[in-house]
Amino acid sequence: MQNEKVIVINGISRGGTNILWNMIQSHPAVCGAMYETDQLFAPWTKNRLRIVTDTVFRNPLLRIPPFITIAAPLIDQRLFNVKLRNLNDFYNGFSTEGVPYTRAEIERSAVCLKSINNTIYSTPLFARIYGERLYTIGIVRNGYGICESWVRRGIPAAKAGLRYRQYVETMFKYREQNERYMIVKFEDILQAPFETLSSIFTFCDLEPTTVDKFRLKSKPILTEDGSRKVPFGSRNVKYWLDRDTIQEFLVPNIATIQSDALSDADRQAFEAEALPVLQQLDYA
């Protein structure tokens, strides 16, 4: 295998995965895979997410040794090649602020993927391929915030609740099956970003376990007055943030803001599907 260490983030869309992905990539010994998992392996189809998950990632028959023997080197090479693209990337081509990677550093680095929604089901395949080289981080978030984001994009609250429950239950199932699977709460990242990421780096056997700055992309977020604003800098620009400036970027009470924006009907429809998981995670 060309990749000595692979880190996979499991999560739900609008659930904080982008922030976690960028934070982990801020470690000098980690490079991102540039694209989300479905985009990596099926960039040629508009409906790539469903096709990949239904034909490969969710089919246990395709994790048997004959398939793995063929697929493993191809998948590993794909991840290695996209990792090398960080070398010339305007934002991600730096090990620390102002210090560009060398090719040798990128070749030695861990590669970090982001698998959201249905591509969570790719986790057993990666575990079968990489074994002890694989570290998986499942990120969970207050479901009411996710529901508000999904409803705002036209997805019914009941469907959001069903998917939320399924994805969270799957992440907990995978953690039971694999000791190299860690689950973190998005709220812990917002409240104590440096401390939470230090524990993640330790889990992933990364040194040093502390990072002085995180490289994050500024995006619009929902505010208390109902508008959407960029909290820091310019939209879609990545910044290196220290312990002081990151407080201007992260919004610890975003779940409350989003929860308050839900209608009673949407809240009830969401809870009808998701309440057991919300209670398990102390979100209800």
Residue 71 domain flag: yes
pLDDT range class, residue 45, cuts 50, 70, 90 = low
pLDDT value at position 87?
93
Residue 169 domain flag: yes
Outline where DSSP puts E strands in 141-280: 181-185, 214-217, 221-222, 228-229, 238-241
Distance of CA 46 to the CA centre of its chain: 22
Which of 139, 140, 131, 185 lies closest to 21, judged by CA? 139
Expressed as residue numbers, the domain containing 242 is: 6-280
Structure tokens at 281: 């995670």
pLDDT value at position 221?
85
Instruction: Tokens 């794909």: give the residue.
Output: 78
Structural domains of the chain, count: 1
Which stretch of 69-78, 128-137, 265-274 has the lowest confidence by average pLDDT? 69-78
Residue 1 domain flag: no
pLDDT value at position 1?
86
Which of 21, 215, 257, 236 lies closest to 116, judged by CA? 21
**Residue 221 phi, psi (nearest 5):** -130, 160
Say if residues 114 and 159 touch (Cβ distance below 8 Å): no
CB neighbours (10 Å) of residue 269? Answer: 20
Say if residues 119 and 113 touch (Cβ distance below 8 Å): no
pLDDT value at position 68?
79
- For residue 14, what is the domain's CATH number? 3.40.50.300
pLDDT value at position 79?
95
Instruction: Give the pLDDT confidence of 71-128 residue by residue, as tens digits.
Output: 889 899 999 999 999 998 999 999 999 999 999 999 999 999 999 998 898 898 899 9
pLDDT range class, residue 53, cuts 50, 70, 90 = low
Give the total residue count for the chain.
284
Angle at 235 between CA 143 and CA 212, to 5 degrees: 80
Question: Could you tell me if residue 131 is left (phi over 0), alpha (psi between -120 and 50 degrees) or otherwise beta?
Answer: left
Element (H, E) at 228: strand 228-229
pLDDT value at position 213?
96
Instruction: Give the pLDDT confidence of 17-44 residue by residue, as tens digits.
Output: 999 999 999 999 999 999 888 888 765 5
pLDDT value at position 231?
81
Whole-number mean pLDDT of the chain?
A: 90
pLDDT range class, residue 61, cuts 50, 70, 90 = low
Residue 41 domain flag: yes
Residue 259 domain flag: yes
CA dihedral (100, 104, 108, 113) positive or negative: positive
Residue 24 domain flag: yes
Instruction: Give the pLDDT confidence of 191-234 residue by residue, as tens digits.
Output: 999 999 999 999 999 987 889 999 999 988 877 777 788 888 89
pLDDT value at position 131?
93
Residue 168 domain flag: yes
Structure tokens at 180: 């190299």
Compute the average pLDDT of residues 164-185.
96
What is the layout of strands, in order, in the sheet containing 6-11?
30-32, 110-116, 6-11, 134-140, 181-185
pLDDT value at position 57?
64
Residue 31 domain flag: yes
